Amino acid sequence: MAALIPFLDENLRARLCAAVDGKAKPPGSLGRVEDIAVRLGLIQNRLDPKVDRVLALVFAADHGLTEEGVSAYSASVTAAMVDLFLAGRATVNAFAQAAGVDVRVVDAGVAADLPEHPGLVGAKIRHGTRNACRTAALTADEVERALARGEALAVRAATEGYDAIVLGEMGIGNTATSALVMHRLLPAALDDCIGQGTGHDEAGMARKRDALERASGRSAAIEPLEVLREFGGLEIAMMAGAAIGAAATRRVILADGFISTTAALVAARLRPAVLDYCLFAHRSAEKGHDLLLRGLGAEPILDLGMRLGEGTGAVLAVPVLRAAARLLTDVAALADVVGGA
């Protein structure tokens, strides 16, 4: 992770705020859209930001913790969902089509050999993580390679002309892994981080809590690289790397729900400046996400009661970002209206 992340030019903030306030509207009448417009300008370091081309990177990986019954579904569902993404039939595909967002699927660590496909990026580190209840989920080298591959994918997207990167994911068991990572890095009480994930009954939630308590008790790791090594997962590490790469190239980072926000937390603990480039698409209904957002000082754009993942909430927020950018570029100045009256 050699990328340098440029600091935001706070001297530009006053000019952006003045530009927003000077539009043909009452000052502050567009609420948070005005704040988003300013933030976009700061991220891109320009008075005329644009969010024309957006790429959703959907990182897929499996988790050894599924051996402990932390999910209501088996690990084989991850590979099946990748097939669905590539066929263009998943929810993120439908939402992306509606929002004008490109989708690229990344095999970060699916526990299956996936056939080559034009829409699939083969970045597999290993076939799923090890079971964090019994041993470290990853090696230090695996963590570093996952971060580096994520960073490279974001840099590649920047060179291809994308203005913003959506962080999406798919991985059975990844709410369990995210709970462990959040628990250590935010930090927060473990029970406050554990949610239903794909949908557990009472017995399933009891299994999940027991497994995560055992995993947490196995290691006292609190440093971000060590937390990733002990608990995983590969899509989380790769998304964290992608956030770092996007920030280094002044691209807007649009985080989705609980898992991708956990990845943003990892990135921020590794490179604090990354948070300046992050916008958080929505408040997930998954337990722990609201606490995680508050811990990062983040206010989500949408609140629709969603908790699917895949990048779906982030894709839905893209039109808001585009509208905010166009406030600066397309709306007339109030002085022009008043002067011509």
What would the pLDDT profile of 43-55 be if each residue is shown by its tens digit? 999 999 999 999 9
Do 132 and 246 lie in one domain? The reply is yes
For residue 337, what pLDDT is reported?
85
pLDDT tens, residue by residue, 108-166: 999 999 999 999 999 999 999 999 999 999 999 999 999 999 999 999 999 999 999 99
How many alpha carbons fall within 13 Å on the CB side of residue 8? 22
Catalytic entry in 142, 144, 169, 310? 310
Do 187 and 72 lie in one domain? The reply is yes
For residue 341, what pLDDT is reported?
55
For residue 199, what pLDDT is reported?
66
Nearest Cα to Cα of residue 44 among 12, 22, 20, 19: 12
| Cα–Cα dist 146/263, whole Å | 12
Q: Is residue 2 part of a domain?
A: no
For residue 44, what pLDDT is reported?
98
Q: Has residue 2 got a pLDDT over 70?
A: no
Domain of 188: which CATH number? 3.40.50.10210
Count of domains forming the chain = 2
State the residue range of the domain holding 257.
Answer: 54-320
Nearest Cα to Cα of residue 63 among 120, 125, 110, 121: 110
What average pLDDT score do residues 169-192 get?
97
For residue 196, what pLDDT is reported?
77
Do 103 and 227 lie in one domain? The reply is yes
Do 58 and 45 lie in one domain? The reply is no
160, two tokens: 């291809």
Do 16 and 114 lie in one domain? The reply is no
| Cα–Cα dist 70/64, whole Å | 10
| Percent above pLDDT 70 for the chain | 97
Q: Is residue 4 part of a domain?
A: no
pLDDT tens, residue by residue, 245-281: 999 999 999 999 999 999 999 999 999 999 999 999 9
Q: Has residue 311 got a pLDDT over 60?
A: yes
Strand order in the sheet with 252-255: 120-122, 102-109, 54-61, 164-170, 252-255, 278-280
Do 79 and 192 lie in one domain? The reply is yes
Do 35 and 159 lie in one domain? The reply is no
27 pLDDT tier (thresholds 50, 70, 90): very high
What count of other Cβ atoms lies within 10 Å of the Cβ of residue 332?
12
| Percent above pLDDT 90 for the chain | 91
Do 21 and 35 lie in one domain? The reply is yes
Nearest Cα to Cα of residue 75 among 120, 130, 30: 130
Do 218 and 130 lie in one domain? The reply is yes
Q: Is residue 5 part of a domain?
A: no
310 carries an active-site annotation: yes
Q: Average pLDDT, whole number, for the chain? A: 96
240 pLDDT tier (thresholds 50, 70, 90): very high
